[in-house]
Amino acid sequence: MGLHLPTLSTQPFVGAVDDLVAMTDDISLQRIDEAAAVGRPANVGITHAEREFNALAEEQLVSWPAEAEAAARPARLSASRVAPAAEAADFVTAEHQKELTRARDARQHALETLLPFVRRPPHDNARYWAGWVVLGLGDTVGVWGAAISLGEIPELAFGQALATGFAAVTAGLVGGEVRALAQAKSRRRDPDELTENERRYRRLFEGVEPEVPVLKIASGVAASVIALVAGSVFALRALTEGAMAGLVFGGLATATMLASFISSFIHADEVADLLDHYEQEHRRAIKGYRKASKAKPLQVSGASTAEADSIEREYGRRALAAANKVEACKQRMLRRNPQVVGHGDVTQPVTARAGLHAEKGAAA
């Protein structure tokens, strides 16, 4: 038998075996007998031509992974360079994920257990803080104008007035403590009556008697601040604009501080503050987890590994495609030479389609 196959391209691309389609038509096996629609002769084992095709197919299955190794090498090296940093970032991300899970579970547990005890109106935070700033600036302007009227330098007068104004509204925060004390009394329960979930927040349901003396002291201090600020504004205005102006502005200062007291009283809610705390912790955990998961070493390592894996999968499929193409050419060659190998499979143990596995079995 004479068989001359041209050398395949050194690059194991599918296109390199396309030459086999044309060259296969030129393959001729020595004719030894005439056959008409018969199976493969039992005495014809695996021909040299078939072995050559099998070897070419094996070459494709080996060459393509080698090409994949070379093509994926830059990506693998890139991933290996950041591997230590990526492992550290991955550890930090995992810790943040645990923290996020704890914060989420704590927030959910608190909402399910304590939400019925919330007394603060919805979206009251914006109203409260805006009112706190406005009331503080209102007292500030009153004191500032009076100080300037007395001949004080405007810049220095503004600093003193600002401190006085916010001292006044800060005194009004005692209203929140009064409200919190009243709510604590209404929530008071015997420890044995608490549910399993409520025991986790036992402090909210305990007595408040020890806090009463402290609240009285705070209320006395707040009243002193109100009296001092109102008296100071009255005196300043009385000196510059007369007793009536002093009385008016002193009354406005007092009203501002009492309004701060009422605003704090309405806003105060220890349970809502605790739920807000859990909400902030949950948001902080989400922010930390997002930041950790966006670490550059993780991104580089993940992208490089994904690129290398994709290249290897692509080349693996190309290897199978190339091997199948060689197998198809082998079958084409057999089909065009029925005078030697017949027209199909043989009924005897020797198989007509001697592929890679068949050849290995025959060799064994």
pLDDT in tens, 219-241: 888 888 878 887 877 787 777 77
Confidence grade of residue 258 (pLDDT, cut at 50, 70, 90)? confident
Higher-pLDDT residue of 274, 156: 274
Phi, psi (deg, nearest 5) at residue 2: -115, 125
Q: How many other CB atoms sit within 10 Å of the CB of residue 125? A: 13
Buried b (16+ CB within 10 A) or exposed e, 278-305: beebbeebeebbeebbebebbebbeebb
Q: Is the pTM of this model over 0.95?
A: no
Model confidence at 205: pLDDT above 50: yes
pLDDT value at position 264?
87
Tell me the mean pLDDT in the region 166-189: 83
Q: Which two tokens stand for residue 7?
A: 């050398």
Higher-pLDDT residue of 3, 252: 252
Do residues 101 and 294 make contact, with C-beta atoms less than 8 angstroms apart? no
The Cα–Cα gap between 157 and 138 comes to 15
Higher-pLDDT residue of 33, 292: 292
CA atoms within a 13 Å half-sphere pointing along the CA-CB vector of 32: 9
**What residues contact 18, with CB distance under 8 A and at least 6 apart?**
325
Tell me the mean pLDDT in the region 97-106: 95
Confidence grade of residue 16 (pLDDT, cut at 50, 70, 90)? low
The Cα–Cα gap between 155 and 211 comes to 41
Model confidence at 290: pLDDT above 80: yes
**What residues contact 9, with CB distance under 8 A and at least 6 apart?**
15, 16
The residues facing 13 across adjacent strands are none
Among 65-74, 75-84, 115-124, 205-214, where is mean pLDDT lowest? 205-214
Share of the chain above pLDDT 70, in %: 84
Report the C-alpha dihedral over residues 35, 39, 45, 50, rounded to 10 degrees: 80
Higher-pLDDT residue of 252, 23: 252
- Mean pLDDT (the chain) is 81
Model confidence at 209: pLDDT above 60: yes
Site of tokens 């992208």: 303
Confidence grade of residue 53 (pLDDT, cut at 50, 70, 90)? very high
pLDDT value at position 37?
62
Model confidence at 334: pLDDT above 60: yes
Confidence grade of residue 31 (pLDDT, cut at 50, 70, 90)? low
